[in-house]
Amino acid sequence: MEKEPKREKVRYQRKDKMKISDILKLVASVILCQIAGFLGSLFTTPAIPTWYQTLNKPFFTPPNWIFSPVWISLYILMGISFFFVWQRTDHPKFKPALIFFFVQLILNILWSVAFFALRSPFLGLIDIVLLWIAILLTILNFFKVSKLAGALLIPYLVWVSFATLLNFSLWASNR
């Protein structure tokens, strides 16, 4: 009977294993998006029990409590999506994707300023239409860098599509 040769233990380094720097980038990406949400909430929260409460709302207006968990979830998805793009700084479409991402993030914050702080559903409507376009362009550019990054932004586009309809209805019934 032949003796089986001794097998050497071979240590493989997985290429898909996250490094500490990747984890920090992921955390920073999510925090960045949550900060944008927090900034928007500074303009939104004070107006909810006062001005917003007085508006005529369409029948499909969700209850106020639903907005916070939806937005927190969307900002988490945005952060994860941004992280996947940030991992590809060498990609030729990285810079345009980055520009569109930050444009939509700024427009996102500005919507709260326009709609709630300025109490203007009309200015909010203009901003949210620009935001919708910026999100779509971000998704298209993210898809070029990372398909997963682009896909993670689709729920955001769907929600902002609904929010655009809601914003339009609020403007139309309160002018």
The end-to-end CA distance of the chain, in Å, is 93
Q: To the nearest whole number, what is the mean pLDDT of the chain? A: 93
Rounded to an integer, the average pLDDT of 111-127 is 98
Q: Largest Cα–Cα distance of the chain, in whole Å?
A: 93
Reduce the DSSP state of residue 12 to 3 states and report it.
coil
Amino acid 9: pLDDT: 57
- CA-based Rg of the chain, rounded to a whole angstrom? 22
Angle 66-67-68 from CA coordinates, rounded to 5°: 100
Eight-state DSSP code of residue 88: T
User: What is the SS3 string spanning 33-68?
Assistant: HHHHHHHHHHHHHHHHHHHHHHCCCCCCCCCHHHHH
Amino acid 1: pLDDT: 59
pTM of the predicted structure, to 2 decimals:
0.88
What is the spatial distance between Cα 114 and Cα 90, in angstroms, rounded to a whole number?
A: 37
Amino acid 18: pLDDT: 79
**Each residue's pLDDT tens digit, 29-40:** 999 999 999 999
Q: Where are the domains of the chain?
A: 20-44+63-173
Asked if 164 and 128 count as a contact pair (C-beta separation under 8 A), the reply is yes
On the question of pLDDT at 14 being above 80, the answer is no
Rounded to an integer, the average pLDDT of 66-87 is 98
Tokens of 78: 């945005």
Amino acid 16: pLDDT: 63
What is the spatial distance between Cα 132 and Cα 146, in angstroms, rounded to a whole number?
A: 20
Distance of CA 29 to the CA centre of its chain: 10
What is the spatial distance between Cα 132 and Cα 122, in angstroms, rounded to a whole number?
A: 15
